[in-house]
Amino acid sequence: MTTIGGIQDRLDIAALHLLESAPGPAYDTLTSVLNLEPNHPTALKLRAETALRLYDKRRETALDDIEAALRVNANSGALYLLQNQILLSRNEYSEANKRLKKALFCVFHDDPQLAELRDLYEWQSVKELNYLVTMPTEVIYHILRQLPFKYRVRCLAVSRRWRDTFRSIPDLWRDPDYIECRNSRSASIAQSLATLIKWTDLRTLSVSLTTPVIEALVREKCRTLTQVCFAHGDHVDQLVLQLAMRDIGSTWRKVEIDNTIDVAFFFYAAAMYCPALTELVIHFGRWIHSLSPTMQSLMKPLKVTKLSLLHCDIYSRTLINAVSLCPDVVDLTVQDNQLITFQSRSFDDMLRAAKNLKRLTLRCPSLVITAMQNNNLDTFFRALPFNRLDVLDIQGFQLTRENLLRFADEMHTGMLICCGESFAMQDRPERNRFKNVVKESFRDIVVPQPRLIRSHMIEIGSDDEDDESYEERIDRYLMEDYAPGLYY
């Protein structure tokens, strides 16, 4: 083709336009070549290079041109290098690296660009790894916040650059959660915790309650925590825990303890050293030592407004002591607690101590029926403060159908949660709906014989004035059956 309209002449004209820094006319000339021969490899390669120098919609055709050229010649190292350049200009780093890896298997071994492709692939692999740390700090924070804490810690071990970058973002490490690291040694967790305290001011902490962890918190003077969750761990000396609460517990607002601690001891220490405490959740606690009246009178009342006792081993009368130490409690949850019998007098005293109670959750299906005999139900309903309760949750509170229907007659305010539904008891239609749900779908629960009073079962009539009270007898037999050796 020797005429001016020939393909080679147009390619030469396009090259002159590029030398004169005129990519627009060069692009148009190459387009006319491709109109004559759509799969011309040189024209496709040149137009892809030219499109990279434009900043309009024609720039988007560069990737299509280079892919068309590779379909014609899939073994050209120069085309793969240009494809990589185009993908990087579109910020497609992962795709660029993936195509480079594929190119290493497509290019012939004697291609002059093969060595450059290998070096470029190795360099971009490292750069892709560190691309995250080149982002703005706000972007890195929002990305890593989506990861659980243990995976954030693992990111620190990727490289020194990642470690230096991530540790410079304090908000990533204000809420360590070591609950999922149960297989880790307590000494390792304590060392990691000490390192985080040096990096930033901790706000929340979830960790197994062990002596090394407590010692690390005290040693590093971690006095910025507002929420702590101590999961079940090794046995911790009560004195060590008390000293820790004295040194770092002044800022605690919410405490959740999942351990077999002495509930009375913890209440005493919290009253002394945790003035900001407003929410307290205790799992698997035991009320071993009773507080004397003199000690209770000297203790400052806790400002706790939400109290939850879950799976604890405590007496009915000690539950009264716990609630009386929290006179401002608004939300009270008593769930699956052993040794508790909601007797008339105990239950009435407990509710009388909680004068500001607005939400009451009772879920103790194992023992509550034995105390809810017919001679106690009248007093039980009279003790419930229906007029000031906003929510009464008795889901799992095992009563017969007739006893449940009494709630429709006794409760005319607040929300009742029962039978898997919620009922606004201040509305008559809701009370009628509650009755229908109970009548249609609730089956009578067969009350089992109380195994706590074995063969030497006592008569549960009226209390004798000269003998021990009914409540004391129930508690004594409970202790003999469930916790022998702990009864005082």
Specify whether the CB–CB gap between 62 and 86 falls below 8 A. yes
Taken in order 223, 225, 229, 231, the sign of the CA dihedral is negative
Per-residue pLDDT of the chain (488 residues; tens, 9 = 90+): 444 458 888 898 998 998 888 999 999 999 999 998 998 989 999 999 999 888 888 888 999 999 999 999 999 999 999 998 898 888 787 788 888 888 998 998 888 888 989 888 887 776 655 666 677 878 888 888 888 888 888 888 877 878 888 888 888 899 998 887 766 788 888 888 898 998 888 999 998 888 888 889 999 888 899 999 988 766 777 788 888 899 999 999 999 988 667 777 788 888 889 999 999 998 887 765 566 666 666 677 888 999 988 887 766 666 777 777 888 899 988 887 655 555 545 666 777 777 888 898 887 654 444 444 444 555 566 667 777 788 988 886 666 777 778 888 888 888 988 878 889 988 889 888 888 888 886 554 443 433 433 333 333 343 444 455 544 554 454 444 433 333 22
Q: Which long-range contacts (CB under 8 A, 24 or more apart) does 402-411 make?
A: 403/372, 403/377, 404/438, 404/442, 405/435, 405/438, 405/439, 406/377, 406/381, 407/434, 408/432, 408/434, 408/435, 410/381, 410/384, 410/386, 411/384, 411/386
Buried b (16+ CB within 10 A) or exposed e, 369-400: bbbbeeebbeebeebbbbeebeebbbbebbbb
Please, is 183 exposed, middle or buried when counting C-beta atoms within 10 Å of its C-beta (0-12, 13-18, 19+)? exposed
Structure tokens at 46: 């040149």
**231 beta partners:** 208
User: What CA–CA distances, in Å, run from 440 to 14, 185, 290, 392, 419?
Assistant: 86, 54, 46, 22, 11
Number of H helices, E strands in the chain: 22, 10
Q: What is the DSSP string of 332-381?
A: EEEES-BT----HHHHHHHHHH-TT--EEEEE-TTTHHHH--HHHHHHHH
Specify whether the CB–CB gap between 449 and 310 falls below 8 A. no
